[in-house]
Amino acid sequence: MKLLSKKVTCNSHGQDSSYFLGWQEYEKNPYDEVRNPRGIIQMGLAENQLCFDLLESWLAQNPDAVELKKNGESIFKELALFQDYHGLRAFKNALVEFMSEIRGNKVKFDSDNLVLTAGATSANETLMFCLADPGDAFLLPTPYYPGFDRDLKWRTGVEIVPIQCKSSNGFRITGSALEEAYQEAGRRNLKVKGVLVTNPSNPLGITLSLLELNLLVNFIAAKGIHLINDEIYSGLVFKSPGFMSIMEVLMNKKYMNTQVWNQIHIVYSLSKDLGIPGFRVGAIYSNNEMVVSAATKMSSFGLVSSQTQYLLSAMLSDKVFTKNYVSENRKRLKHRQQMLIRGLRNAGIGCLESNAGLFCWVDMRHLLSSNTFEAEMEIWKKIIYEVGLNISPGSSCHCAEPGWFRVCFANMSEETLNLAMQRIKIFAKSISNTIINGRDSNQYSNKNLRRKSLANWVFGLSFHDHKYER
């Protein structure tokens, strides 16, 4: 162990979070309609698989882009040798136009202010390196995307201080919560370098209101700190109120070329909006020349391959395609979200009202045996091992209140989502019955017997003992 660095051997990566543990459990026993119908259904992965038919049909109609040709002539050698870390001009232009299109063309982006990165993961980390020193802090509203513990903190040594948002106001950011987080950082002797928000929010599935955006801009202006807006889900707003980018707020306030203009940065990626996380395409957009220059130098550590840039510049320049894709994607997401809400409602489970993203923020507080995070973990284990669903507990998103879970709805077929809803209905009914009858821990003295009984009910089949040897 001593042969390795402290960074590698400390556990600040966050790998032991229930968010990642759930994925590991899923990998051991993944659901498959034919091969493993009793397996775990993955509902903890914010993937957008709803529009692959549109992407594949575009690829079939555009062989030049796929075969790395221009007007029928191969440009393989050119792309194979290309290594400028500024990226392909054609791709950057196409990407900023796509970003504008998603924002209803209310804002224009300049491709000179864009830095390409290997996904939003790399973009967020690069910004941390540019804006903060080890031991400095960023304030993040809770609940937040569990990957931030790894992306923002692990290699940079930056600390996250939570802005505690509460269910009583729908987890909205308030002035007092911002101020309290700032004070808390002070009490911990941490210098606050900025605030980072995701808009739309992962895991809440809601867009920030104009009130919240104004509050954030005023707060960072008053404190002289940065604001990072991770807008990775900006193309996935399928219901009103619509999405408002921080850039639109700045333009409306006529903040161009003011100090604040230089303190605000956007993170973007095609992982969610285009559903291609495997391609590793992300970006930083900043009006701050020094940040753009430093991030461009740093992007050497996580470039986007030139053939990916070439293919996607052709795809994103096809305006007929992008327009249709964006609107069809929103339609399909809305339908899926409604399916999930309906399914959960049938099980007596509610969600935070949402308008965006690939997940709902689900309220299972009434199913907890006590108002504690231990009870939340207890129920999460039941759901993963006995019901066969991997969902993300609120505690993995640093939610301050036990009983909330993030449930994804766009990474599976409709049939699988329906099956998941049947399983959750049986589960919720069984838990409600035990709570009503007050016999949770008494009815079955043996833990395995209790598990078997629920599993038998959920799957309608008897389980073998080895399934429980975890």
Look up 334 and say whether it is catalytic.
no
Could you tell me if 172 and 215 are in contact, meaning their C-beta atoms sit under 8 angstroms apart? no
- CB nearer to ligand PLP: pick between 226 and 382: 226
Could you tell me if 283 and 268 are in contact, meaning their C-beta atoms sit under 8 angstroms apart? yes
| Active-site residue, from 230, 255, 266, 383 | 230
For the chain, state the CA radius of gyration. 23
Look up 145 and say whether it is catalytic.
yes
Q: Which helix (H) or strand (E) holds 57?
A: helix 52-61
d(CA 226, CA 152): 14
- CB nearer to ligand PLP: pick between 205 and 282: 282
Q: Measured from the CB of residue 186, what is the shortest distance to ligand PLP in angstroms?
A: 27
Among 42, 113, 156, 198, binds ligand PLP (CB under 6 A): 198
- CB nearer to ligand PLP: pick between 269 and 329: 269
Q: Which helix (H) or strand (E) holds 163?
A: strand 159-163
205 forms part of the interface with ligand PLP (CB under 6 A):
no
| Among the listed residues 355, 335, 340, the one whose alpha carbon sits nearest the alpha carbon of residue 201 | 355
Q: Measured from the CB of residue 22, what is the shortest distance to ligand PLP in angstroms?
A: 14
d(CA 26, CA 222): 46
Among 31, 58, 138, 145, binds ligand PLP (CB under 6 A): 145
282 forms part of the interface with ligand PLP (CB under 6 A):
yes
Q: Measured from the CB of residue 46, what is the shortest distance to ligand PLP in angstroms?
A: 5
Among the residue ranges 61-69, 91-99, 269-277, 458-466, the one whose residues contact ligand PLP (CB under 6 A): 269-277
288 forms part of the interface with ligand PLP (CB under 6 A):
no
Look up 272 and say whether it is catalytic.
yes
Among 199, 263, 269, 355, binds ligand PLP (CB under 6 A): 269
- CB nearer to ligand PLP: pick between 46 and 225: 46
Q: Measured from the CB of residue 149, what is the shortest distance to ligand PLP in angstroms?
A: 12
Pseudo-torsion of CA 330, 335, 341, 342, nearest 10°?
Answer: 170
d(CA 270, CA 118): 10
Q: Measured from the CB of residue 356, what is the shortest distance to ligand PLP in angstroms?
A: 12
| Active-site residue, from 92, 153, 193, 272 | 272
Q: How many CB atoms lie within 10 A of CB 235?
A: 27
46 forms part of the interface with ligand PLP (CB under 6 A):
yes
From residue 223 to residue 242, the character string flagging contacts with ligand PLP as x (rule: CB under 6 A) and all else as - is -------x-x----------
Q: Closest-CB residue for ligand PLP?
A: 119
Instruction: List, in sequence order, the alpha helices (H) in 103-163.
Output: 119-131, 148
Total residues at interface with ligand PLP (CB under 6 A): 14
d(CA 245, CA 144): 19
Interactions with ligand PLP, residue window 110-129 (CB under 6 A): 119-121
| Active-site residue, from 102, 220, 232, 246 | 232
Interactions with ligand PLP, residue window 379-398 (CB under 6 A): none
156 forms part of the interface with ligand PLP (CB under 6 A):
no
Put residue 279 in one of left, alpha, beta given phi > 0 → left and psi -120 to 50 → alpha: alpha
| Active-site residue, from 19, 26, 144, 145 | 145
Among 22, 235, 277, 403, binds ligand PLP (CB under 6 A): 277
- CB nearer to ligand PLP: pick between 202 and 434: 202
d(CA 391, CA 41): 9
First-to-last C-alpha distance (Å) of the chain? 27
Q: Measured from the CB of residue 281, what is the shortest distance to ligand PLP in angstroms?
A: 7
Pseudo-torsion of CA 413, 416, 420, 421, nearest 10°?
Answer: 70
Q: Which residues of 317-342 are buried (b: 16+ CB within 10 A; e: fewer)?
A: bbeebbeebbeebbebbbebbeebbe
202 forms part of the interface with ligand PLP (CB under 6 A):
yes
- CB nearer to ligand PLP: pick between 127 and 292: 127
Instruction: List, in sequence order, the alpha helices (H) in 386-446.
Output: 414-437
* Amino acid making up residue 226: H
3-state secondary structure of 305: coil
Could you tell me if 378 and 395 are in contact, meaning their C-beta atoms sit under 8 angstroms apart? no
* Amino acid making up residue 19: Y
Q: Measured from the CB of residue 121, what is the shortest distance to ligand PLP in angstroms?
A: 3
- CB nearer to ligand PLP: pick between 198 and 354: 198
d(CA 460, CA 312): 46
Catalytic residues: 145, 230, 232, 272
Q: Which residues form the interface with ligand PLP (CB under 6 A)?
A: 46, 119-121, 145, 147, 198, 202, 230, 232, 269, 271, 277, 282
